[in-house]
Amino acid sequence: MKKKVILGLSGGVDSSVAIVELLKQGYEVECMFMRNWDSAANNDMLGNPDLNSSVCPQELDYQDALKVAEKLGVKLHRVDFIKEYWDTVFTYFLDEYKKGRTPNPDIMCNKEIKFKAFLKEAKKIGCDYIAMGHYARVKHYQDHSVLLRGVDKNKDQTYFLSGISQEQLRNALFPIGELQKSEVRQIALDYDLATATKKDSTGICFIGERNFNQFLSNYLPAQKGKMVTLDGKVIGEHYGLMYYTIGQRKGLKIGGLDGYDNEPWFVIGKNLAKNELYVGQGFYNPYLMSNRCIVEDMNFFNPVKDEFDCTAKFRYRQEDNNVHVKKLENNLYEITYPQTVRAVTPGQACVLYDGEVCLGGGTIKEVYMDQDKRMY
């Protein structure tokens, strides 16, 4: 009897081609389209209208998903995870911004929605596995599974999968993980799929094409404050600390100041208590550099030693950094990198690798240069 796979069909080219690959491998395939965001329903929960709400791109994606499913002869289910998404992803997103941190909702979405709520619904249909159109690979052994980077290094998405559990990984397949993006596009063209030339989605799904600052202001009140240098000189005004991230250059609207050269300005720190944004000149401003950080909520797919060397990414698509990992108390880990790294940012993920193997990851809590804690 064929193994049954329920694929998360998003209405994009990657998940569309994942159907083709699963069918080639002999699986019985059904698909499920996830509806995770609804402006009207979410505004009711918050009691604060999204003034920039419009037709959600997911509705258009569903029509594309339906065309692909019909073309390939697979059944398409539609499920709503609106409340689950609000409770576990969007609330987390807002809470992190309230703390002055820069969150990564895609990691939480994978952990709580795509590989948890989705898996629960898929099992109701009687699946053996779930599958997603991520650029990643998985090897299933008798008693454990291992997550591997996607073959296409430029598209590898293991960074965003670092928060899922071993149990979730055990139930997962990644059909396009062995393919380059160019190959995925060609397969979609060969099969005349409606998504073959569709533009890849970017950014945060619930914001879509809307202005990020305007969207966020509907949910979190912004408070203007001083933009200052580390020596305390006020050189401008910020529009709310939540709108800025460490290492940011764009949107500061400062330059050509008397007494300063023409080097560009960057965000180098925040002070929530004083509502001040710290800025400094130079891409490699010393205050943007660090050599260790503390990581919380660490998730490992398989057991590791309490102290070991590996590589890490502190941001998506960042080059691998050589690091030393040491376990502390309360599931905290100290990550050291003597070569120094720029703009390691609280709220972002630190994801660990051993060659092709993704070991897992956690959330950056604190950042240091030696004993000097950065005001991030």
Per residue in 311-369, pLDDT (tens digit) is 999 999 999 999 999 999 999 999 999 999 999 999 999 999 999 999 999 999 999 99
Q: Report pLDDT for 208.
A: 61
- This prediction's pTM: 0.92
Pairing verdict, β 265-271 and 276-281: antiparallel
Q: Catalytic site residue 205?
A: yes
Pick the CATH number of 4-213 from 3.40.50.1100, 3.40.309.10, 3.40.50.620, 3.30.300.160: 3.40.50.620
- When comparing pLDDT for 314 and 203, which is higher? 314
Which of 56, 127, 205, 358 is catalytic? The answer is 205
Percentage of the chain lying above the pLDDT 70 cut = 93
Side-chain-side CA neighbours of 244 within 13 Å: the count stands at: 32
Taking the C-alpha atoms of residue 159 and residue 244, their distance in angstroms, rounded to an integer, is 22
H-only helix segments in 327-366:
none
Q: Quick one: tokens of 159?
A: 């960074």
pLDDT beyond 90 at 255: no
Measure CA 87 to chain center. 17
CA neighbor of 175 nearest in space, from 34, 7, 12, 10: 7
Mean pLDDT highest for which of 97-101, 250-254, 295-299? 295-299
E strand or H helix at 349? strand 349-354
The alpha helices in the chain, defined as continuous H runs, are 13-24, 39-46, 57-72, 82-85, 91-98, 105-109, 118-125, 158-161, 166-170, 181-190, 212-217
Beta pairing class for 372-373 and 129-131: unpaired
Tens of pLDDT, residues 19-49: 999 999 999 999 999 998 875 555 555 554 4
**Can you give the pLDDT at residue 217?**
83
pLDDT at 156 > cutoff 70: yes
C-alpha to C-alpha distance for 176 and 8, rounded to whole angstroms: 13
Strand partners, 308: 325
In this prediction, residue 88 has a pLDDT band, given cuts at 50, 70 and 90, of very high
CATH superfamily of 286-373: Translation factors (2.40.30.10)
Tens-place pLDDT, residues 130-151: 999 999 999 999 999 999 999 9
Residues 355-365: tens digit of each pLDDT: 999 999 999 99
Contacts of 168 (CB under 8 A, 6+ apart): 111, 115, 116, 119
Token code pair at residue 302: 């398989």
Q: What pLDDT does residue 51 have? A: 44
Q: For 162-200, write each residue's pLDDT tens digit.
A: 999 999 999 999 999 999 999 999 999 999 999 999 998
Better-predicted residue by pLDDT, 286 or 208: 286
Instruction: State the chain's mean pLDDT as an integer.
Output: 92
The CATH topology of domain 222-281 is: SH3 type barrels. (2.30.30)
Picking from 157, 152, 108, the residue whose alpha carbon sits closest to that of residue 347 is 108
**pLDDT of residue 66 exceeding 90:** yes
pLDDT of residue 56: 57
Among 309, 307, 313, 340, smallest CA distance to 326 is for: 307
Given the residues 56, 109, 293, 358, select the one marked as catalytic. Answer: 109
In the predicted model, what is the mean pLDDT of residues 236-249? Answer: 94
What 8-state DSSP symbol labels residue 320? Answer: P
> Which residues, 6 or more positions from 164, have their beta carbon under 8 angstroms from its beta carbon?
110, 111, 115, 172, 299
Is 109 known to be catalytic?
yes
Q: What does the domain layout of the chain look like in residue ranges? A: 4-213, 222-281, 286-373
Q: d(Cα 86, Cα 38) in Å, to the nearest integer?
A: 10
Torsion of CA 109, 112, 117, 123, to 10 degrees: 110
